Chains A and B, each alone.
Chain A
Amino acid sequence: MRRVYLDNSATTPTKQEVLDAMMPYFTEVFGNPSSIHGFGREAKKIVNESRATIANLMNAEEREFFFTAGGTESDNWAVKGIAKAHKNKGNHIITSKVEHHGILHTCETLEKEGFEVTYLEVDEYGRISLDDLKAAIKPETILISIMYANNEIGTVQPIKEIGTIAKEKGVLFHTDAVQAFGNFKIDVKEMNIDLMSISSHKIYGPKGIGGLYVRRGVRLANFVDGGAQERKKRAGTENVPSIVGFAKAAEIAYRDFDAHVEKLISLRERLKKGIMESIDYCKYNGHPEERHPGNCHVAFEFIEGEALLLSLDMVGVAGSSGSACTSGSLDPSHVLMSIGLTHEIAHGSLRLSVGDFTTEEDVDYVVHELKGIVDRLRMMSPLYDKVTGGK
């Protein structure tokens, strides 16, 4: 059976070139970077080179970039670290209703500790309003955390404009760029970003490694106490092979940037067109232009997302859904509710995310299979009856 992976927003396969770069750091260059001997020094050297590689790509200094165990850790560190270090200045944080749970659940934890959090509303495309942001800022505001590109619907926020507002008002600005890094050219200085979370496994690097950019001069509480690693702020022996893999993946992402983005947009548009032209009663979600190049998000009326995913899986197709039944909770995804979808439409949502290894044949196969699956599930649906009169 053909297998088609259209869940690249969940994770990506590690590229062979990345794996090849990592391999010597398991067996040959295996020293502890904190050790003083030659084994340690050569490991330390590659960690620093990898740090410089990634920092340069975002126009940061080497000392401004810290390795973490992934995007969620980076989000936790950024928000909790700023809250802790700046609580004497204020207790107010501004974020949006469509953030990743790495931010939302961190903010909820801080609320229990006495912080006040404003969750900005978004429009039908998932974008915040800059006027709302300005109005929400008060003297107690210490942090604005707004994601770069949304993980579900792909919508990109006006990051540069948010950075400008934050700078004018003297408030720190963090962005969760886990979905964006490698898909958009991000210049942290030009965009006035003070902190930024990124992750390796979304850009064809290994899992379990990510990073946090922290602008020089920003006070941030330590996240892990222990040894002197990561400038004593995030202690623990470095994951050297993964750090090397992350840097290699980032280097490739920038080396092949134009071709990558062009390919993803072309495949995504082919997918979108194929679905929208062959299937009735569906809605394309997210911003029409300002979105992640690989993200295609469609809600199919009258059917439920988990049934859709199971059916796709049976024909070898991997996707994702924001329906309640796939989230394990009663309500559909907070993102889909925030952009104003009704429950019945949100339950039938499907995220298909194309990647570097996706082909046009893959896309055509998925469109073909999807049509049959949607028809079959609709034939079983009492909601569809109400539209067709049971015919």
Chain B
Amino acid sequence: MYTDKVMDHFTNPRNVGVIEDADGVGEVGNVKCGDIMRIYLKIENDVIEDIKFKTFGCGSAIASSSIATVMLKGKTIDEALELNNKDFVSALGGLPSVKLHCSVLAEEAFKVALYNYCQNSGKTYAGLEGFNPEELDDDHHDDIDEDDE
């Protein structure tokens, strides 16, 4: 059901934890659908110096969080904003179609954390223009295109 890469990131998730003095924190998902992701960012000179996550969810939710943090860490914010859930899925060697929403949550958790950083710092980034955490749909189970697999 899952690729070796997914199982690797589920079994040995990278960057699990909390950043006590985080510059931005984002949490998405809800308990009803069974996935909650929280991402912590440490940002210096527009570079993601550190990133940590905590996730309540299934194997693919944990693996998606892990791979996202690995891919985002060390990137400039502009570079990071060019990545999306499809990049996380590719890096994991694919996810079952019913689990693709987990990768969307990872992308959104990062963006919500970054939005939080922007609010704290007063910075703006072109890649985050128009992004509003209030408008996120909690339930991504229905908006996944089967062709994405």
A residues with a Cβ closer than 8 A to B are: 302-307, 310, 314, 323-326, 328, 330-332, 342-344, 347, 379-385, 390
**B34 x A343 contact (CB < 8 A):** yes
How many of chain B's residues touch chain A, expressed as a range?
20 to 34
Contact in complex: B56, A323 (CB < 8 Å):
no
**A330 to B143, alpha carbons, bound, how many Å?**
13
CB atoms of B34 and A332 under 8 A apart: yes
Q: Would A347 and B31 count as touching, CB distance under 8 A?
A: yes
Whether A310 contacts B10 by the Cβ 8 Å rule is: yes
- The secondary structure that dominates the B interface is mixed
- Provide the residues of chain B in CB contact with A342, threshold 8 Å: 31
> In whole angstroms, what is the CA distance A332 to B34 when docked?
9
11 CB < 8 A contacts A-B: A305-B58, A307-B57, A323-B58, A324-B33, A343-B34, A380-B56, A381-B54, A381-B56, A383-B36, A385-B54, A390-B18
Q: Taking A310-B10, A325-B57, A330-B141 as contacts, is the C-beta distance between A380 and B34 under 8 angstroms?
A: no
CB distance from B48 to the nearest CB of A (A): 20
Let me know if A306 and B58 touch, CB within 8 A: yes
Cross-chain contact of B56 among A314, A331, A332, A383 (Cβ < 8 A): A383
Given A304-B34, A306-B59, A343-B32, answer yes or no on A380-B13 (Cβ-Cβ < 8 Å). yes
Q: Is the C-beta of B128 less than 8 angstroms from some C-beta in chain A?
A: no
Taking CB atoms, residues of chain B closer than 8 Å to A383 are 31, 36, 56
Whether the Cβ atoms of B141 and A328 lie closer than 8 Å is no
Q: What is the bound-complex CA distance between A342 and B99, given in angstroms? A: 22
Report Cα–Cα, A306/B33, bound state, in Å: 13
Q: Is the interface of A mostly helix, strand, loop or mixed?
A: helix
Decide if B32 touches A307 in the complex (CB within 8 Å): no
Q: In the complex, what residues of A have CB within 8 A of residue B18's CB?
A: 385, 390
Are B141 and A304 in touch, CB under 8 angstroms? no
Q: Does residue B103 face the partner (Cβ distance < 8 Å to A)?
A: no
CB proximity of A311 to chain B, nearest CB, Å: 8
Asked if B73 is at the interface of the complex by the 8 Å CB criterion, the answer is no
B56 A302 Cβ-Cβ under 8 A: yes
Provided the pairs A379-B16, A382-B27, A382-B38 are in contact, do residues A307 and B33 lie with their beta carbons within 8 angstroms?
Answer: no
Q: A382 contacts which of B10, B54, B141 (Cβ < 8 Å)?
A: B54
**Minimum Cβ distance to chain A for residue B55 (Å):** 6
Q: In whole angstroms, what is the CA distance A145 to B122 when docked? A: 63
Cβ < 8 Å to A, chain B residues 1-30: 2, 7, 10-11, 13, 16, 18, 27
Contacting residues of chain B (122-141) with chain A, CB-CB under 8 angstroms: 139, 141
A108 to B33, CA, bound (A): 24
Q: What residues of chain B lie closer than 8 Å to A304, measured between beta carbons?
A: 34-35, 56-58, 61
Q: Which residues of B contact A302 (CB under 8 A)?
A: 56
Knowing that A383-B56, A385-B54 touch, tell me 9 more A-B residue pairs with CB under 8 angstroms: A304-B58, A307-B10, A307-B61, A310-B10, A310-B59, A314-B11, A323-B58, A330-B32, A342-B31
- Closest Cβ of chain A: how far from B24's Cβ, in Å? 15
Q: Are A381's CB and B98's CB within 8 A?
A: no
In the assembled complex, which residues on chain A have CB atoms less than 8 Å from the CB atom of B2?
A: 310
Q: How many angstroms between the C-alpha atoms of A380 and B53 in the bound complex? A: 8
Instruction: Say yes or no: A344 contacts B27, CB within 8 Å.
Output: no
Q: Answer yes or no: B62 CB below 8 A from chain A CBs.
A: yes
Q: Which 9 A-B pairs have the closest CB atoms?
A: A325-B58, A306-B58, A382-B54, A344-B31, A382-B38, A347-B34, A381-B56, A310-B59, A343-B32
Per-position 1/0 for B79-123, Cβ under 8 A of A: 000000000000000000011000000000000000000000000
Residues of A close to B58: CB separation below 8 A: 304-307, 310, 323, 325-326
Chain A, residue nearest B13 (CB):
A380
CB neighbours (8 Å) of A343 from chain B are: 31-32, 34
Residues on A with C-beta less than 8 A from B10 are 307, 310
CA distance A379 to B17 in the complex (A): 8
A332 proximity list for chain B (CB < 8 A): 34
Q: Are B54 and A323 in contact (CB under 8 A)?
A: no
Q: Which residues of A contact B7 (CB under 8 A)?
A: 310, 314
Contacting pair B33 A382 (CB below 8 A): no
Once bound together, how far apart are the Cα atoms of A317 and B141, in whole Å?
29
Contacts of B33 in A (CB 8 A): 324, 330
Contacts of A379 in B (CB 8 A): 16
Contacting residues, chain A, for B61 (C-beta < 8 A): 304, 307
Contact with A along B45-72 (1 / 0, CB 8 A): 0000000001111110110000000000
Query: Within the complex, what minimum Cβ distance (angstroms) separates A249 from chain B?
Result: 31
